[in-house]
Amino acid sequence: MIAPLLALALGTFSIVAADPATGQIGVAVQSKFPAVGALVPAARAGVGGVATQALANEAWRAEALRLLAAGVPAEEVVRRLVAADPQAADRQIGLVDAKGNAAAYTGARCFDHASHVTGPGFSVQGNILAGRAVPEAMARAYQAARDAGKPLAERLLAALAAGQAAGGDRRGMESAALLVVKPGGGYGGSGDVWVDLRVDDHPRPIAELTRLYRDVHQFYFGETLRAVPLDAKVAREVQGLLLRLGFLKPPAAPSGAWDAASQQALEDFQGWENLEGRTRKDGTVDEVVLAHLRKVAARKR
């Protein structure tokens, strides 16, 4: 029997999803409960993701991932967790494996409205909701964002926003979280946690979570969408800016020839500004880095 390590009543709506094409697995959640991101979501690259809520049994997270890693089918994982827990009727869970097989359970004693919706690659679940329209709206929004080619994180955020627009947690809003894992997604390529953002107490947690993802996480850790060649003109400009900021030292001058000293100075600037995740060593500079370099140097005039 799985002993409940921590049992907390969470009126919550969440979505768990996997994108086998990219290897990404994610969970997004909102609740009228503080710091919900510390309690509900868990995910492991190559294995799966899980959300445990209502009278949450924290042990379900680790056990679900252990069983998925051992090759137990998603539906069977849920069956085993429920069968081993005498308080399962008060609990809710949604999970997905790395291949996109989803399963969910909503206990009969979860506070109304409580239900779940599963589909290809995702599971939506919620309790203490405004109604069935909440999980249904989340499922539609996720599928629409997926069909539009949006990245997994953006699909998850779209689902949360749709759930809230449909009424959400009928007690209101307080916290939200977004977790996305992928192979090598951790800082510097170690570990698998690519996005781990939490809004622990906020009047509009989903909007704040979206801002953190789009304006903060993607600025520092987003993929390079455009790389600018360091040709003579751009190299000369970058060298001049790095000299102004003190990262490139005299007697170096803006020659337009991109050399090892210039590359190191640019990398030093990026490290100073926490943009090392956008470092390139192929004779180009990330467009976001270049724009930020210009902005920082302009303040030094």
Q: What is the pLDDT of residues 217-244, one digit of tens each?
A: 999 999 899 999 999 999 999 999 999 9
Residue 106's pLDDT is what?
A: 98
Residue 6's pLDDT is what?
A: 40
Q: Which CATH superfamily is domain 12-221 in?
A: Aminohydrolase, N-terminal nucleophile (Ntn) domain (3.60.20.10)
Question: How far is the C-alpha of 156 from the C-alpha of 105, rounded, in Å?
Answer: 20
What does the block give as tokens for 29? 């959640």
Cβ-based neighbours of 230, under 8 Å, separated by 6 or more? 238, 258, 283, 284, 285
> Quick count: other Cβ atoms within 10 Å of Cβ 82?
15
* pTM for the predicted model, two decimal places: 0.91
Report, as ranges of residue numbers, the positions in the chain whose pLDDT lies below 70: 1-10
Beta bridge partners of 93: 52, 105
pLDDT tens-place string over residues 282-301: 999 999 999 999 999 999 87
Residue 5's pLDDT is what?
A: 38
Which H/E stretch holds residue 53?
A: strand 48-57
> Quick count: other Cβ atoms within 10 Å of Cβ 296?
15
Three-point CA angle 152, 157, 158, nearest 5°: 95
Residue 46's pLDDT is what?
A: 98
Residue 1's pLDDT is what?
A: 34
3-state secondary structure (DSSP) of residue 154 = helix
Residue 301's pLDDT is what?
A: 73
Residue 203's pLDDT is what?
A: 97
> Quick count: other Cβ atoms within 10 Å of Cβ 184?
12
Boundaries of every domain in the chain: 12-221, 227-299
> Which among 70, 125, 71 is positioned nearest to 95, based on CA atoms?
125
Residue 7's pLDDT is what?
A: 44
